[in-house]
């Protein structure tokens, strides 16, 4: 049986829609009353695991799920050994450096050396500031990163920005983007190589919408 890992939250609805194109109907997972973390497709050929964003590449890397849909931000931060199969182009957001609006900083290189930067994505942030040759002290937080500049624990933050509302509500402004992130289809490399046909067919169908768009 094919198992797919789906991320809870903002990507879920579109992820379910993509697998529906491939003939796998997991829409019961979207039912507000659903409390199950593992659901069968209506055809009974596949199951979906409903897990946290960061756990999608873990389940796929260990082969407990052959396919998964997860944001590029998570793939970049955690670097698990999974095959990147397609950019599904939904769930768009950007990883950005943000500071207090009153700070006067206009770009990341304006930040003072050795200042503190808070983030949930400290690997992405380290790579970015290393490339800038700007030494900063990274403070790893697990949530509400926008509190960082307000409390004084950090002068800047690196965080995902979708609409920008959270930044505005907290008097913050983004000054530079690290990268743009969208939902990606990932797969377990060995399962893809050993596949007798079904898996590749599903991958092709999930990707088909992008192919139509790009034609």
Stretch that binds its own copies, among 96-104, 134-142, 187-195, 207-215 (CB under 8 A): 134-142
In eight-state DSSP terms, residue 178 is E
CB of 48 to its own copies, least distance (A): 11
Applying CB under 8 A, does 189 fall inside the site for its own copies?
no
Lookup: tokens for 204: 């092709």
CB of 187 to its own copies, least distance (A): 16
Find the angle CA(141)-CA(145)-CA(151) to the nearest 5 degrees: 100
Which residue number, 21 or 37, has a Cβ lying nearer to its own copies?
Answer: 37
DSSP 60-116: HHTTSSSEEEEEHHHHHHH--S-EEEEE---S-EEEEEEEEGGG---SGGGSPTT-E
Please count the residues of this chain forming the interface with its own copies, following the rule CB under 8 A.
27
How far is the CA of 93 from the CAs of 11, 56, 111, 200, 201, in angstroms?
Answer: 11, 18, 23, 28, 29
Applying CB under 8 A, does 10 fall inside the site for its own copies?
no
Which residue number, 62 or 179, has a Cβ lying nearer to its own copies?
Answer: 62
CA dist 97 and 129 (Å) reads: 10
Applying CB under 8 A, does 147 fall inside the site for its own copies?
yes
Stretch that binds its own copies, among 99-107, 125-133, 140-148, 173-181 (CB under 8 A): 140-148
Applying CB under 8 A, does 58 fall inside the site for its own copies?
yes
Q: Footprint of its own copies on this chain (CB under 8 A)? A: 3, 37-38, 49-55, 58-59, 62, 64-65, 116, 139-144, 147, 150-153
């Amino acid at each position: 049986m094919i198992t797919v890992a789906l991320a809870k939250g903002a990507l879920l609805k579109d992820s379910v829609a993509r697998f529906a194109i491939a003939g796998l109907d997991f829409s019961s997972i979207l039912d507000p009353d659903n409390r199950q973390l593992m659901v069968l497709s209506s055809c009974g050929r596949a199951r979906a695991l409903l897990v946290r964003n960061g756990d999608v590449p873990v389940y796929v890397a260990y082969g407990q799920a052959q396919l998964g849909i997860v944001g590029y931000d998570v793939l970049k931060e955690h670097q698990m050994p999974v095959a990147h199969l397609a950019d599904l182009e939904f769930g768009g957001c950007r990883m950005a450096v943000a500071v207090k609006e009153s700070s006067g900083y206009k770009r990341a290189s304006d930040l003072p050396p050795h200042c503190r930067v808070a983030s949930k994505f400290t690997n992405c942030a380290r790579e970015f500031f290393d490339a800038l040759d700007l030494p900063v002290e990274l403070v790893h937080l697990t949530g509400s990163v926008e509190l960082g500049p307000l409390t004084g624990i950090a002068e800047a933050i690196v965080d995902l920005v979708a609409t920008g509302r959270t930044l505005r509500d907290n008097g913050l402004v983004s000054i530079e983007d690290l990268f743009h992130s969208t939902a990606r289809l990932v797969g377990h490399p060995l399962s893809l190589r050993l596949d007798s046909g079904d898996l590749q067919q599903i991958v092709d169908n999930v990707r088909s919408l992008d192919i139509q768009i790009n034609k």
